[in-house]
Amino acid sequence: MVAVPAAAPVAVVGMAWTTALGRDLGAVWERLLAGETGFVEVPSPHRLRNLLAAVVEPLGDDAATRLRSMTAETVRRALGHARLTPNGALLVLGTSLGAFLDDARERESALGAWAEDVARAVEVDRCISLSTACSSGSDAILVGAELIRAGVVEYCICGGADVLTLSKRLAHSALSTMSPTRPRPFDVRHDGMLLGEGAGVLVLESEARARRRGAVPLALLRGVGSANDASSMTTPDMAARGARLAIQRSLEDAGLRAEEVGLINAHGSATQANDKAEKDAFRALFSQGPRPVVFATKCAFGHSLGATGALEAMSVVMALQRQEVPPIAGLEQPDPDFPLPLPVGAPVRCDARVGLSLTLGFGGFDTSLIFQACA
């Protein structure tokens, strides 16, 4: 096998999120460490498996308006955190379906029209939109990193956003992917996820440019990898081939070995099929040598669909910075067959230098992102 040289790392120079636990980076992280969740009862005119959802206040505007305003506000905060202006930037945004299913006005235009509206609102001239189900936020980051590496742009504003809608709640209730109780990833009682909403935005910049202007990166995006197992419209490949291939590609891209990964933010949807696929992928790739600690945040933020990959990537960066991972909310009786350590009931100290974020989307979209601490 011919060795593939590692691709140039990309600097993460700014971040912002909007979640059911709040907006401030540090305050939300503290709530995650405390094991808090953002779930509240959200009324529905139709019968659902569960009325709980993790929502961003306020709920007054229609879904399409909320998607645009929430995303634009999050982009502005991320740029402010990076101390950059929108001049010359490229905006790369992903969503699963946004308000597309519930708003007739949305269906009259292309699915990416919302992202173009956000770009105008934040005064960014160039915009790319994508939709790869639950991997949309992760894939936006992957695309931004590759464009920087290729020299197309020097910095990108990348992320994902999604809002809670009636159609999504009905669909996941009908699919039985919605838990009738609470999300419990990797627990023997796992019975599904609960929906959430939010936005996550990372500002990526070539490391050389960041250093030249005196920016201190929050982390380096070392490797990216994607695959599509095309197993079914909704179910992952139970042999975890797509997940394993995405992880392997991200490791090769980073020029790293599996044993160098110290923490993993799992997809952690708490459905039996997804939990099994991740468990088998982790066993195949990480059970030899030092074992990375695995945590999950959908059980706190809710499954925010197109936003989730970006929120989870940010959680990896926060964990690397703080040297601590939050407990998995709802996890009380870990699957005895799970091959890697899990944080149960309390935060776990972790001196990892390298962290991985894995997303598994409907339609077989698998994406892996590898970050490295700077300090």
pLDDT band at 4 (very low <50, low <70, confident <90, very high): very low
* Catalytic residue (one of 158, 299, 303, 350): 303
For the cut 50, the answer to whether the pLDDT of residue 3 exceeds it is no
How far CA 270 is from CA of 251, 298, 321, 344, 366, in Å, comes to 25, 9, 26, 15, 17
Query: Is residue 55 left, alpha or beta, with left meaning phi > 0 and alpha meaning psi from -120 to 50?
Result: beta
The rounded percent of the chain whose pLDDT value lies above 70 is 97
User: Could you confirm whether 303 is annotated as catalytic?
Assistant: yes
Report d(CA 70, CA 60) in Å as an integer.
13
Quote the mean pLDDT of the chain: 93
Kindly report, residue by residue over 208-250, the tens digit of the pLDDT. 999 899 999 999 999 999 999 877 666 777 788 999 999 999 9
CA distance 303 to 162: 10
What is the spatial distance between Cα 77 and Cα 10, in angstroms, rounded to a whole number? Answer: 20
Q: Are 111 and 129 in contact (CB under 8 A)?
A: yes
Please tell me which residue in 127, 134, 156, 299 is annotated as part of the active site: 134
pLDDT of 185 higher than 50: yes
Q: Where are the domains of the chain?
A: 10-372
| Confidence at residue 109, expressed as pLDDT on a 0 to 100 scale | 76
299 is annotated as an active-site residue: no
Please confirm, yes or no, whether 81 is among the known catalytic residues.
no
- Per residue in 137-183, pLDDT (tens digit) is 999 999 999 999 999 999 999 999 999 999 999 999 999 999 999 99
338-360 pLDDT, tens per residue?
999 999 999 999 999 999 999 99
Contact 158, 119 (CB under 8 A): no
Q: What is the DSSP letter of 305?
A: G
One of 1.10.10.350, 3.90.1300.10, 3.40.50.2020, 3.40.47.10 is the CATH number of 10-372, namely 3.40.47.10
- The pLDDT-based confidence of 199 (bands split at 50, 70, 90) is very high
156, 158, 267, 350: which is the annotated catalytic residue? 267
| Closest CA relative to residue 248, chosen from 362, 358, 142 | 358
What does the pLDDT look like over 42-72, one tens digit per residue?
Answer: 999 999 999 999 999 877 778 999 999 999 9
